[in-house]
Amino acid sequence: MTFRRMPLRPSAAALATLVLLAGALPAFAEAPPQSLIARSAPAGNYLAARLAGSERDTAAAAAYYRALIKVFPRSGEILERAFLTFLANGDIDEAVDLAQRIVKIDPEHRLSRLVLGVKAIKAKQYVTARSNLRRAGQGAIAELSATLLAAWSQFGSGNPRAGVEMIDSLQGPDWYAAFKDYNAGLMLDAAGLKKDAGRRLEEALKIDSKTLRVVDAYARWASRNGDKKVAIETYEAFDKVLPNDPLVEQALKEVEAGRSLPPLVDTAQQGAAEVLYGLGSALGRQGGEDLALVYLQLAHWLDPSHPLIEITLADLFESMKKYDEAIALFRRVPANSPLKLNADIQLGLNLDAAGHFDEARTALEAAVAKNPSDMRAIVALGDVLRAKQKYPEAAEVYTKAIDQLQAPTSANWTLYYFRGTCYERTKQWEKSEADLKKALELRPDQPHVLNYLGYSWIDQGVHLDEGMDMIRKAVALRPDDGYFIDSLGWAYYRVKRYDDAVRELERAVELKPDESVINDHLGDAYWKVGRKLEARFKWNHARDLKPEPDDLAKIERKIAVGLDEAEKAAETPPIAPTAAKQNGG
């Protein structure tokens, strides 16, 4: 096996080289039994490790690679794959050991040099850190991270000005500027160089006023330097853009009470962790999950007390559909953290996504009980209940939220919309109609509400012109939404404009070819215009797409006897519209 040098770049190719892995901190995932690994031949363990890695099961992959390293202690490929797996799995001490072995084989292995540099910063061996970091940068992300980390090592050596000079000497793309000003400001602030710190943090804020850490760093500086009004205004401006952040709410209370806030960072280790956290969170938002995971795991290893790293890791796992890992992290948020409620809500949502509805419900009900006036917890519980078709319970929960509104605003339209859909599903049409109208009053051009209310009227044979206009408007607002177009086609079907129904339903099927109900609708429309062979073809296709049990029985009846006979035998109106089902709940 040969050893391949791996550059650290933010490109798709390099991210692929970084191995498509995602995992958790060491105790989160379940590794295969050691007895199974011991019985397997090395080739079997290698294939198992590769398979586990491709499935982003890093705990299992790490276990197999540990066994392989014992058999092939000098194999560059095995060492590198194990190194990447350990990083992704949060096994940083083991990754450091492998990095030391890898650089003996390939002294220019950049990710190993980065990890060794981080290890040296943690150990306060700042000269060693800079020696490794000088060999860690190539490419935009790698160059930025290595330089910023080296700058913090200068701070650790007692030379903050040298660290700032190193940052300022860094040349690169325009987006470097915010990272440079932010880290220079943090460094100067931690060194007590107040005036220069404020200038650099203010510059960072001008470039990036929507990043919490940048906002928090500048507002904290202002609170300590005789300008508490500026601190309050800075937090309030952020709250208008991204409201209800618990860290901002807590900081505002402190400043309004006349207290000064300490700097975000006061050690080289915290500064280095901030570098890795900032880059990791940015990469995670932009699709670079694998490199983001490595940076965040390193950041957590450097500064386990950082208030946002574990939450950001959990969010990253959630985005990668690694729900069990996210759940474990959300559970770890301490009870006294301002982020506890957010974590409890996300815990419930991830439990539900992982298929643990009862646990999710219990977790969210507990969150509501602890925070009975918090709309986020109430809405999350309602959404989980509604998704599981617990419509009466969901309506009660949404009512709790609505009852707390002093004066509903456009932001509250979803509460009325979702409660209205729950009432419609439980055959309480008067209540449903009132809520849907209220939602439309709050957000007149909301396509989901236009579609749902418009179709409901047509389905009942009332307000036909107004209902059709609503559905057309919804389609105009969302012209590529197959569900909305299906509603328009089905509305035409209900008013017996079958040629128009066929035209729209064919468009809907093109956009959503694997949606059972839309294929079923098109089959009905084909039958009405005399295209009976095509109708049965569509019904057969709808049947094969695994419809709901009630719909399946109706489809099979139409296949057997045709639409005319099926309608004669039916005691209920034809199938409800896809849009009502999909977009209403």
Tens place of pLDDT per residue across the chain (585 aa)? 222 323 322 233 332 333 323 222 233 345 565 555 555 567 777 787 787 777 777 788 887 788 888 888 888 888 999 899 999 999 999 999 999 999 999 999 999 999 999 999 999 999 999 999 999 978 889 999 999 999 999 999 999 999 999 999 999 899 999 999 999 999 999 999 999 999 999 999 999 999 999 999 999 999 999 789 999 999 999 999 999 899 999 999 999 999 999 999 999 999 999 999 999 999 988 888 889 999 999 999 999 999 899 999 999 999 989 999 999 999 999 999 999 999 999 999 999 999 999 999 999 999 999 999 899 999 999 999 999 999 999 999 999 999 999 999 999 999 999 999 999 999 999 999 999 999 999 999 999 999 999 999 998 989 999 999 999 999 999 999 999 999 999 999 999 999 999 999 999 999 999 999 999 999 999 999 999 999 999 999 999 999 989 899 999 999 999 999 998 877 544 444 444 444 444
Question: What's the angle, vertex CA 75, arms to CA 71 and CA 78, rounded to 5?
Answer: 80
List, in order, residues 6 or more apart from 351 with CB less than 8 Å away: 323, 327, 357, 359, 360, 363
CA gap 510, 498 in Å, rounded? 18
Please state, in angstroms and as integers, the Cα–Cα distance from residue 275 to each residue in 128, 180, 540, following that order.
18, 10, 57
How are the residues of the chain apportioned to helix, strand and coil, as percentages rounded to the nearest 5?
Answer: 75, 0, 25
Give the pLDDT score at 314. 96
List, in order, residues 6 or more apart from 480 with CB less than 8 Å away: 511
Q: Is the whole-model pTM more than 0.85?
A: no
| Helices 516-528, 532-544: crossing angle, 10 deg rounding | 170
Q: Is 410 exposed, middle or buried (0-12, 13-18, 19+ CB in 10 A)?
A: exposed
**Assigned domain for 381 exists:** no
- For 527-547, how does the pLDDT look when each residue is reduced to its tens digit (9 = 90+)? 999 999 999 999 999 999 999
CA gap 183, 191 in Å, rounded? 12
**Assigned domain for 481 exists:** yes
Q: What is the CATH number of the domain that holds 572?
A: 1.25.40.10
Please state, in angstroms and as integers, the Cα–Cα distance from residue 315 to each residue in 202, 320, 327, 347, following that order.
28, 9, 10, 10
Total number of domains constituting the chain: 1
Which tokens belong to 459? 């389905």
Which amino acid is it at 66?
R
**Assigned domain for 553 exists:** yes
Give the pLDDT score at 20. 29
Which tokens belong to 513? 């070819």
**Assigned domain for 566 exists:** yes
Q: How many CA atoms lie within 13 A of 362 on its CB side?
A: 5
**Assigned domain for 521 exists:** yes
Q: How many CA atoms lie within 13 A of 540 on its CB side?
A: 7
- For 345-380, how does the pLDDT look when each residue is reduced to its tens digit (9 = 90+)? 999 999 999 999 999 999 999 999 999 989 999 999
Local structure of residue 141 (DSSP, 8 states)? H
Give the pLDDT score at 62. 80
**Assigned domain for 452 exists:** yes
**Assigned domain for 484 exists:** yes
SS3 516: helix
* DSSP codes joined into one string, 22-36: ---STTSSPPPPHHH
Range of the domain at 501: 447-584
- For 209-241, how does the pLDDT look when each residue is reduced to its tens digit (9 = 90+)? 999 999 999 999 999 997 899 999 999 999 999
- For the chain, helix (H) and strand (E) counts, in that order, are 34, 0
**Assigned domain for 560 exists:** yes
Give the pLDDT score at 48. 75
